[in-house]
Amino acid sequence: MVDYQKFTERLVNWIKDQVFDSGLKGTVVGLSGGIDSAVTAVLCKKAFPNSTLGLIMPCYSNSEDQAHAKMLAEKFDIPYKVINLEKPFDAFQEIVDEGEKLAEDSLVRANLKPRLRMITLYYYAGLNNALVVGTDNRSELEVGYFTKYGDGGVDITPLATLVKKQVREVAKYLGIPEVIITKQPSAGLWSNQTDEAEMGITYEQLDHYILTGEAEESVKETVDRLNKRSRHKLKMPPKPDFVPE
């Protein structure tokens, strides 16, 4: 049985080491109102009590998510800013699409949101001499359920060795509000969007396959297909292995 107190302490120390090794002073993390960002933000607060900043970045988002993000920040005394990204989101579409907006559930359109958030996080990280701390967990990384150079555009990923159910256990240990722990996971890319519906499998199925290698054939096929399709997201951009001679 995992000792989550010990594991959490190791994670906090790991975050400290990563920041100090980078010669920086603190952390910046996006607060989405979901469990992964909640756990990440509290770990950062423990690592850097006086130099952790949370950013809430609504962009045609569910108002409940912003409320949960604020609840989390206020409960754990995490300084935060609300940066509304709707104007730059609209302006960018107006420029590149010449006024013709794509459908709300178009991935091309939806991925603008996490990429605008990435830019915002790095802006404030630069102002605060801080690292941008990502919130992706092992389950999401396994199937590429993140936006390249969006929520995947970060400096460190503390939750990268935790599947979703393990993130929930850490959340319980940290005292994350129950409403955040039990809410339906969603990237908030469009109205009523959920992680599991988009992936085509449940986190329970995904976690079980990752941890045991066992699953129904349809689940294996889905996970393996998503993993293969998204491997490029986890690699540095390829470069030639030859030089001019």
- Give the C-alpha separation, 161 to 124, whole Å: 27
pLDDT at 213: 95
- Give the C-alpha separation, 206 to 40, whole Å: 21
pLDDT at 100: 67
User: Interhelix angle for 203-212 vs 164-174, to 10°?
Assistant: 100
- Contact between 152 and 146 (Cβ < 8 Å): yes
- Give the C-alpha separation, 184 to 196, whole Å: 9
Q: What is the DSSP string of 77-110?
A: T--EEE---HHHHHHHHHHHSTT-PPPTT-HHHH
Tens of pLDDT, residue by residue over 52-64, are 999 999 999 999 9
Q: In 3-state terms, what secondary structure has residue 131?
A: strand
pLDDT at 207: 96
pLDDT at 96: 87
pLDDT at 60: 92
Of residues 24, 50, 56, 20, the one with CA closest to residue 38: 56
Q: What is the DSSP string of 188-241?
A: -SSTT--HHHHHTS-HHHHHHHHHHS---HHHHHHHHHHHHHTGGGGSPPP--S
pLDDT at 4: 93
- Give the C-alpha separation, 214 to 172, whole Å: 27
Of residues 113, 188, 199, 106, the one with CA closest to residue 150: 113
**Which CATH number applies to 4-234?**
3.40.50.620
Question: In the chain, which residues have pLDDT < 50?
Answer: none
- Give the C-alpha separation, 192 to 208, whole Å: 26
Domain positions in the chain are 4-234
Q: Which strand (E) or helix (H) includes residue 119?
A: helix 112-127
- Give the C-alpha separation, 47 to 26, whole Å: 8
pLDDT at 98: 67
- Give the C-alpha separation, 40 to 225, whole Å: 28
Residue 192 neighbours by CB under 8 Å, 6+ apart: none
Largest CA distance in the chain: 62
pTM score of the predicted model: 0.93
